[in-house]
Structure 1
């Protein structure tokens, strides 16, 4: 885990912008290679943009900070609900 944390700390914004993260992660999660053809992206993008704007306005966050906060909330919601579902199925 320390290696991953070190790589994160040492990776610049410029290097991150060169990576196609969807393509990189699709090697592990195939849905990332196909969802663009199936999902009504504008529908979700509009709502995500609304939430990002709201975080910026309500908490005076930069666009990047609002994205990071929203991403973190989404991850916690997913993990919290995943663990609850796993407990119910045992």
Structure 2
């Protein structure tokens, strides 16, 4: 699973949980900030993290939850917790 594959899958999860998703999904990059750029509140971010756990069948350790600010942070979580063959359902 490449970083671009993960980014595309996460963009779908983010758009599903965001009250005001970006009009252009291609505008979501690893540098996109969840709160400032996507206007997501902390509950929406928690829901995306839960969706990641459900989609990949993993448990994200609590210590990984602190410091999640960008889409790239979410990509890193997926890359380090999901197995090599895991895919978003």
Given the two structures, how large is their TM-score scaled by the length of structure 1? 0.27
Specify which structure has the bigger relative contact order, considering alpha-carbon pairs within 8 angstroms and separated by 6 or more residues: 2
More helix by share: 1
Structure of higher CA gyration radius: 1
Given the two structures, how large is their TM-score scaled by the length of structure 2? 0.27
